Amino acid sequence: MNILTQDIKYLQGVGPRRAELLEKELGIKTVGDLITYYPYKYVDRSHVYKICEIDGNMPYVQLCGQILSIENIGEGKSKRMVAHFSDGTGIVDLVWFQGIKYAANAYSCHKPYLIFGKPNVFGGRINIAHPEIEDAPAEVRNMARTTGNLFEDDSDYAFAENNTGTASSATTLPNFRPFYNTSEKMKKGTINSAAMAKLTANMFKILTRPLDETLPPYMTERHHLISFDEAIRNIHYPTSADILRKAQLRLKFEELFYIQLNILRYARSRQLKYRGLLFTRIGDMFNGFYHNHLPFQLTGAQKRVIKEIHADMKSGRQMNRLLQGDVGSGKTLVALMCALIAVDNGCQACIMAPTEILAEQHVETIRNFLGDMPVRVELLTGTVKGKKREALLTDLINGEIKILVGTHAVIEDNVMFQHLGLVIIDEQHRFGVAQRAKLWMKNEVPPHVLVMTATPIPRTLAMTLYGDLDVSIIDELPPGRKPIKTVHMFDAHREKIYNLMRHELSLGRQIYIVYPLIQETEKMDMKDLEAGFVEISSAFPQCKVSKVHGKMKPAEKDAEMQRFASHETQILVSTTVIEVGVNVPNASVMIIENAERFGLSQLHQLRGRVGRGADQSYCVLVTKYKISEDTRKRIQIMVDSTDGFEIAEQDLKLRGPGDLEGTQQSGMAFDLKIANLAKDGQILTIARAAAQEVVDSDPNENNPVNAIIWRRLKELRKTNINWGAIS
Closest CA to 326 of 356, 347, 299, 366: 299
122 makes contact, choosing from ligand ADP, Mg ion, none, with CB < 5 to 8 Å by partner type, with none
Q: Which DSSP helix (H) or strand (E) runs through 440?
A: helix 433-440
Residue nearest to ligand ADP (CB): 330
Which one of 228-236, 556-564, 580-588, 668-676 is the stretch in contact with Mg ion (CB under 5 A)? 580-588
Mention every residue, 6+ apart, whose C-beta is less than 8 A from residue 162.
Answer: 138, 139, 142, 168
Longest CA–CA span in the chain (Å) reads: 100
Instruction: Tell the smallest beta-carbon distance from residue 451 to Mg ion (Å).
Output: 13
Instruction: Tell the smallest beta-carbon distance from residue 298 to ligand ADP (Å).
Output: 5
Instruction: Tell the smallest beta-carbon distance from residue 296 to ligand ADP (Å).
Output: 4
581 binds Mg ion (CB under 5 A): yes
Instruction: Tell the smallest beta-carbon distance from residue 371 to ligand ADP (Å).
Output: 14
Closer of 300 and 508 to ligand ADP (Cβ):
300
Q: Could you give the CA distance from residue 254 to residue 672 in angstroms, rounded to a whole number?
A: 11
Q: What are phi and psi of 533, to 5 degrees?
A: -60, -45
298 makes contact, choosing from Mg ion, ligand ADP, none, with CB < 5 to 8 Å by partner type, with ligand ADP
Closer of 564 and 670 to Mg ion (Cβ):
564
299 makes contact, choosing from Mg ion, ligand ADP, none, with CB < 5 to 8 Å by partner type, with ligand ADP
102 makes contact, choosing from Mg ion, ligand ADP, none, with CB < 5 to 8 Å by partner type, with none
Closer of 65 and 581 to Mg ion (Cβ):
581
329 makes contact, choosing from ligand ADP, Mg ion, none, with CB < 5 to 8 Å by partner type, with ligand ADP
Q: Could you give the CA distance from residue 176 to residue 240 in angstroms, rounded to a whole number?
A: 8
166 makes contact, choosing from ligand ADP, Mg ion, none, with CB < 5 to 8 Å by partner type, with none
328 makes contact, choosing from Mg ion, ligand ADP, none, with CB < 5 to 8 Å by partner type, with ligand ADP
302 makes contact, choosing from Mg ion, ligand ADP, none, with CB < 5 to 8 Å by partner type, with ligand ADP
Q: Could you give the CA distance from residue 277 to residue 446 in angstroms, rounded to a whole number?
A: 8
Q: Could you give the CA distance from residue 6 to residue 581 in angstroms, rounded to a whole number?
A: 53
Instruction: Tell the smallest beta-carbon distance from residue 424 to ligand ADP (Å).
Output: 11
Residue nearest to Mg ion (CB): 581
Instruction: Tell the smallest beta-carbon distance from residue 457 to ligand ADP (Å).
Output: 14
**Cα pseudo-dihedral 28, 29, 30, 33, rounded to 10:** -30
Closer of 424 and 461 to ligand ADP (Cβ):
424
Q: Which 638-667 positions form the footprint of Mg ion (CB under 5 A)? A: none
Which one of 262-270, 524-532, 574-582, 709-717 is the stretch in contact with Mg ion (CB under 5 A)? 574-582
Instruction: Tell the smallest beta-carbon distance from residue 575 to Mg ion (Å).
Output: 20
Q: How many Cα atoms within 13 Å fall on the side-chain side of residue 375? A: 31
Instruction: Tell the smallest beta-carbon distance from residue 331 to Mg ion (Å).
Output: 5
- Residue pair 337/313 in contact by the 8 Å Cβ criterion: no
Q: What are phi and psi of 33, to 5 degrees?
A: -70, -35
Closest CA to 21 of 33, 12, 6, 9: 9
Q: Could you give the CA distance from residue 556 to residue 534 in angstroms, rounded to a whole number?
A: 19
Closer of 356 and 593 to ligand ADP (Cβ):
356
Instruction: Tell the smallest beta-carbon distance from residue 508 to Mg ion (Å).
Output: 25
Closer of 44 and 475 to Mg ion (Cβ):
475
Closer of 458 and 581 to Mg ion (Cβ):
581
148 makes contact, choosing from Mg ion, ligand ADP, none, with CB < 5 to 8 Å by partner type, with none
Mention every residue, 6+ apart, whose C-beta is less than 8 A from residue 165.
Answer: 142, 146
Instruction: Tell the smallest beta-carbon distance from residue 427 to Mg ion (Å).
Output: 7
Strands annotated E in 518-630: 545-548, 571-574, 587-592, 618-623
Mention every residue, 6+ apart, whose C-beta is less than 8 A from residue 522.
Answer: none
Closer of 497 and 582 to ligand ADP (Cβ):
582
Closer of 127 and 332 to ligand ADP (Cβ):
332
Could you tell me which residues are beta bridge partners of residue 622?
A: 489
Closer of 346 and 478 to ligand ADP (Cβ):
478
Q: Give exposure, 257-266, as e/b (b: 16+ Cβ within 10 Å).
A: bbbbbbbbbe
Mention every residue, 6+ apart, whose C-beta is less than 8 A from residue 263.
Answer: 464, 467, 468, 691, 726, 727
Closer of 325 and 421 to ligand ADP (Cβ):
325
Closer of 474 and 572 to Mg ion (Cβ):
474
612 makes contact, choosing from Mg ion, ligand ADP, none, with CB < 5 to 8 Å by partner type, with ligand ADP
Closer of 332 and 443 to ligand ADP (Cβ):
332
Instruction: Tell the smallest beta-carbon distance from residue 392 to Mg ion (Å).
Output: 24
Instruction: Tell the smallest beta-carbon distance from residue 301 to ligand ADP (Å).
Output: 9
Closer of 238 and 611 to ligand ADP (Cβ):
611
Q: Could you give the CA distance from residue 675 to residue 680 in angstroms, rounded to a whole number?
A: 6
325 makes contact, choosing from ligand ADP, Mg ion, none, with CB < 5 to 8 Å by partner type, with ligand ADP
Instruction: Tell the smallest beta-carbon distance from residue 583 to Mg ion (Å).
Output: 8
Closest CA to 9 of 24, 19, 23, 1: 19
Residue 466, classified by CB atoms within 10 Å of its CB into exposed (0-12), middle (13-18) or buried (19+), is buried
Instruction: Tell the smallest beta-carbon distance from residue 210 to Mg ion (Å).
Output: 54
**Cα pseudo-dihedral 522, 528, 529, 532, rounded to 10:** 180
Q: Could you give the CA distance from residue 445 to residue 686 in angstroms, rounded to a whole number?
A: 34
342 makes contact, choosing from ligand ADP, Mg ion, none, with CB < 5 to 8 Å by partner type, with none
Closer of 424 and 500 to ligand ADP (Cβ):
424
Site size toward Mg ion (CB under 5 A) is 1
CB atoms within 10 A of CB 373: 18
283 makes contact, choosing from ligand ADP, Mg ion, none, with CB < 5 to 8 Å by partner type, with none
Instruction: Tell the smallest beta-carbon distance from residue 561 to ligand ADP (Å).
Output: 15
Q: Could you give the CA distance from residue 489 to residue 511 in angstroms, rounded to a whole number?
A: 17
Closer of 203 and 449 to ligand ADP (Cβ):
449
478 makes contact, choosing from Mg ion, ligand ADP, none, with CB < 5 to 8 Å by partner type, with ligand ADP
Q: What are phi and psi of 566, to 5 degrees?
A: -90, 10
Instruction: Tell the smallest beta-carbon distance from residue 368 to Mg ion (Å).
Output: 15
User: From residue 534 to residue 573, what is the string marking binding to Mg ion with x (rule CB under 5 A)?
Assistant: ----------------------------------------
327 makes contact, choosing from ligand ADP, Mg ion, none, with CB < 5 to 8 Å by partner type, with ligand ADP
Mention every residue, 6+ apart, whose C-beta is less than 8 A from residue 199.
Answer: 11, 13, 14, 34, 191
Helical packing angle, 629-640 and 644-655, nearest 10°? 170
- Residue pair 588/509 in contact by the 8 Å Cβ criterion: yes
8 makes contact, choosing from ligand ADP, Mg ion, none, with CB < 5 to 8 Å by partner type, with none
Q: Dihedral sign, CA of 379, 380, 386, 390?
A: positive
Q: Note the residues at the interface with ligand ADP (CB under 6 A).
A: 296-299, 302, 325, 327-333, 454, 478, 583, 612
Applying CB under 5 A, the residues found at the interface with Mg ion are 581
